[in-house]
Amino acid sequence: MTEAKILVIDDNKSVLSALEILLQFEYKSVETLFNPNQISSFPNMEEIDIVLLDMNFSAGVNTGNEGLYWLNEIKKKSPNTSVIMMTAYGAVDLAVRALKQGASDFVLKPWNNERLLATVKSAYELRKSKQEIHQLKKKENELKQVINADKNFIIGNSKALTSVLNLVRKVAKTDVNVLITGENGTGKELIARELHRLSPRKGELFIGVDMGSIAENLFESELFGHIKGSFTDAKEDRAGKFEAAHKGTLFLDEMGNLSLQTQAKLLSAIQNKSVVRVGSNKPIAVDIRLISATNCNLEQMVADGLFREDLLYRLNTINIEVPPLREREGDILVLAEFFLKKFAAKYDKPGLRINNLAHEKLMEYPWPGNVRELQHTMERAVILSEGNVLKPTDFLLHSKPLQSMEHMPSTLDEMEQQMIARALEEHDGNYSAAAGQLGISRQTLYNKLKKKNK
């Protein structure tokens, strides 16, 4: 016996009792209504799985409008209940109208018992899958809220940051592609998240991709997905980041690190608003808001033949430049106090404060690793602090000039390698600490070392 609850509505009493007897053999609960006016006051319509509804009620009236009207009333009370219309032979066009208005099926009177039972059975299956979808959607929305509920506040009240945030507020409402530029650790990702949080897509996912850490041969599979068996490790079908971000925001970070070949593939996906999974030839439409970020000068890279001009043109409909911390003096102490509170709570050191001399030291430092460096500096100071007051000596800053003139490197690459070597030396070869000091991710540090050793 199936658990489903069925309601039959017909003004013909013999139809009602015939159907009640037939359905009771298969279904646990069968109720009947002789007068459709009772629909409005029928309790708990949402619990009814299937309604069998007559299309014509008033004797002699055969327009079917009564049926359509009551179908509407039932759907208003319980959108997920499956409604099967019962109509006389010759009124099929009317049944089609009912289907368009949300009925799940129809049966012709006089009915064939077997066929009617099959129709009810498939309507019940449909109702069950609708309920499952409803539950999954609810769960999905809850998950999205948890994922998007970032505790990432943008702190600072310098003029420079305020004008960036004003621009963010304006641009967030639109769907245009945004390119965020600025030095490492200035808060580009935070700005991208803010754009998403203030956009009409905020209820959907924000998917971030560090383009610098994707190996060239995995690029397509990571971004566009693959189908099972398309390469050795493709054990099952998998969606790429574009598909995962469908209806939401896709954030492509470290855009300056792409090969020309990869740039061409990316451009094609952006232009066509669709992706083709590796191993397939079927395009899948994707609706994404694209935000990208880089610390490179892409215009210069275009001039040097390292970046496609057409791709740059696609990415930077709007360019948001995040200024370095040294140009946002008004933010330094506010951020320092913010991080102090955060880490004092994390490491259970309440009542910690920074004295005036230390404030001065923090203000004078040029912060080459920007906010990320300030964050790490504060964390280290809080961990190592012994009293209640943080003094200048509690802040380990690399305040000596970065290079003495005799050893000035002659190329940018050389300078980068020297800085990496020095950071690794200072942190006894600890990659995470060295990357933190340099204001880059551990993966970016690996990539740079790999490049050097090639």
In terms of CB distance, is 155 or 198 closer to ligand ATP?
A: 155
C-beta of 185: minimal distance to ligand ATP in Å? 5
Site of interaction with ligand ATP (CB under 6 A):
152, 154-156, 182, 184-190, 253, 293, 295, 335, 371-372, 375, 440-441
In terms of CB distance, is 210 or 237 closer to ligand ATP?
A: 210
C-beta of 339: minimal distance to ligand ATP in Å? 8
- Both tokens assigned to 340: 């102090």
In this structure, what are the phi and psi dihedrals at residue 284, rounded to the nearest 5 degrees? -115, 120
C-beta of 105: minimal distance to ligand ATP in Å? 53
Question: Residues 250, 251, 255, CA angle at the centre, nearest 5°?
Answer: 125
C-beta of 441: minimal distance to ligand ATP in Å? 6
In terms of CB distance, is 117 or 154 closer to ligand ATP?
A: 154
Tell me the β-bridge partners of 283: 276
Cis peptide before 110 (omega within 30 of 0): yes
Task: Check if the beta carbon of residue 326 is closer than 8 Å to that of residue 366.
Answer: yes
Task: Check if the beta carbon of residue 375 is closer than 8 Å to that of residue 331.
Answer: no
What distance lies between CA 287 and its chain's CA centroid? Answer: 12
Question: What's the first-to-final CA gap in the chain, in angstroms?
Answer: 70
In terms of CB distance, is 18 or 154 closer to ligand ATP?
A: 154
Three-state secondary structure string covering 35-94: CHHHHCCCCCHHHCCEEEEECCCCCCCCCCHHHHHHHHHHHHHCCCCEEEEEEECCCHHH
- Which residue sits closest to ligand ATP, CB atoms considered? 187
C-beta of 344: minimal distance to ligand ATP in Å? 16
**DSSP 8-state secondary structure symbol assigned to residue 425:** H
C-beta of 271: minimal distance to ligand ATP in Å? 26
In terms of CB distance, is 64 or 439 closer to ligand ATP?
A: 439
Query: The dihedral of CA 77, 78, 81, 83: what is its sign?
Result: positive
In terms of CB distance, is 184 or 377 closer to ligand ATP?
A: 184
In terms of CB distance, is 26 or 379 closer to ligand ATP?
A: 379
C-beta of 49: minimal distance to ligand ATP in Å? 49
In this structure, what are the phi and psi dihedrals at residue 108, rounded to the nearest 5 degrees? -95, 140
